């Protein structure tokens, strides 16, 4: 579980995060949603320690990250996996080598065990054997995302972070990736935090949703509670599109569940 208590972060005097408190439980997919520029990426980078926060606590199962030394932080990072917006695969390595890399760096496994584990992870994200020897530039965006997921879970992380996992993907591939992340989260009981502004993901996998606006945490709840959140700011964001407005209207009229 990760807990944020009153987290502040400014850049050159401009406060971007203005006191965020939230809880992210293990085994659940937590989504951070909000408009472009609301501070989602800054929040995620603060969570993983790429930005040092000015004030507040970030508690990883009882360990407060801002208090840690650089060495302790690096040790904690070995418990983290991250899926970057652009996949961030190492382009001088093949698909298989990419997944083997963290294992080679940080595990004490033998070469054979490493390859076995890497193949298991790639199989888990439904990648076919044929693509293992290709380089990232030779596979599609959706496949790159899967490789990135496989690499992120190779070391059995406790915490998984995803920055806009769906950007650049079509709706069907997005859905596949979303479901994959949710399944893996439940299977390995990870604490998963996803940055997104994709409403489809919100409805599909939003066990726990944290809505931020202009650096403030405005609402936290599950996707089931989204329709009667009672928050005007949230409604404004969620029901911005005609499609979702129509869904909400239908929901109110017929009390239909989604």
Ligand X SMILES: Nc1ncnc2c1ncn2[C@@H]1O[C@H](COP(=O)(O)OP(=O)(O)OP(=O)(O)O)[C@@H](O)[C@H]1O
Find out whether 38 and 236 touch, Cβ atoms under 8 Å: no
As given in the structure block, the two tokens for residue 228 are: 């009667």
Judged by CB under 6 A, the stretch of 36-44, 154-162, 182-190, 248-256 that binds ligand X is 36-44
Find out whether 64 and 2 touch, Cβ atoms under 8 Å: no
96's enclosing H/E stretch is helix 95-106
Confirm or reject binding of residue 41 to Mg ion (CB under 5 A).
yes
As given in the structure block, the two tokens for residue 6 are: 């009153």
CB of 119 to other proteins, least distance (A): 19
Which partner in Mg ion, other proteins, ligand X, none is near 104 (CB below 5 to 8 A by kind)? other proteins
d(CA 76, CA 65): 9
Interface positions, 96-135, toward other proteins (CB under 8 A): 101-102, 104-106
As given in the structure block, the two tokens for residue 163 are: 């920055």
Confirm or reject binding of residue 248 to other proteins (CB under 8 A).
no
Q: Which of 8, 18, 77, 251 binds other proteins (CB under 8 A)?
A: 77
Confirm or reject binding of residue 16 to ligand X (CB under 6 A).
yes
Contact partners, residue 69, CB within 8 Å, separation at least 6: none
Strand partners of residue 220: 210
Residue with tokens 């079509």: 170
Which partner in ligand X, Mg ion, other proteins, none is near 138 (CB below 5 to 8 A by kind)? none
Q: Give the nearer residue to ligand X in terms of CB position, either 87 or 98.
A: 87
Q: 96: phi > 0 → left, psi -120 to 50 → alpha, else beta; which?
A: alpha
Judged by CB under 6 A, the stretch of 40-48, 143-151, 218-226, 250-258 that binds ligand X is 40-48
Residue with tokens 């439980």: 25
Number of residues in contact with other proteins, rule: CB under 8 A?
Answer: 23
Which positions touch ligand X (CB under 6 A)?
A: 11, 16, 34, 36-42, 197
Which positions touch Mg ion (CB under 5 A)?
A: 41
Which positions touch other proteins (CB under 8 A)?
A: 48, 50, 74-75, 77-78, 80-82, 84-86, 88-91, 101-102, 104-106, 155, 161
């Amino acid at each position: 579980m990760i807990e944020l208590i009153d987290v502040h972060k400014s850049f050159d005097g401009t406060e971007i995060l203005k006191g965020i408190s939230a809880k992210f439980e293990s085994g659940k997919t937590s989504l951070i949603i909000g408009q472009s520029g609301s501070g989602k990426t800054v929040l995620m980078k603060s969570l993983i320690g790429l930005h040092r926060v000015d004030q507040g606590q970030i508690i990883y199962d009882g360990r407060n990250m801002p208090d840690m030394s650089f060495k302790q932080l690096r040790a904690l990072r070995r418990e983290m996996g991250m899926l970057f917006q652009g996949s961030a695969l190492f382009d001088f390595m093949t698909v298989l080598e990419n997944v083997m890399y963290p294992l080679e760096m940080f595990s004490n496994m033998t070469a054979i065990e490493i390859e076995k584990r890497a193949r298991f992870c790639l199989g888990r994200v439904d990648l076919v054997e044929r693509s293992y020897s290709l380089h990232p530039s030779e596979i599609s965006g959706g496949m790159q995302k899967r490789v990135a997921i496989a690499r992120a879970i190779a070391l059995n992380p406790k915490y998984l972070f995803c920055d806009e996992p769906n950007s650049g993907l079509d709706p069907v591939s997005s859905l596949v990736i979303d479901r994959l992340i949710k399944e893996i989260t439940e299977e390995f009981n990870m604490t998963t935090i996803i940055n997104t502004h994709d409403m489809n993901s919100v409805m599909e996998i939003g066990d726990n949703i944290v809505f931020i606006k202009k650096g403030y945490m405005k609402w936290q709840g599950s996707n089931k509670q989204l329709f009667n959140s009672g928050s005007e700011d949230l409604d404004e964001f969620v029901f911005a599109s005609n499609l979702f407005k129509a869904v909400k209207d239908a929901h109110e009229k017929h009390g239909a569940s989604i």
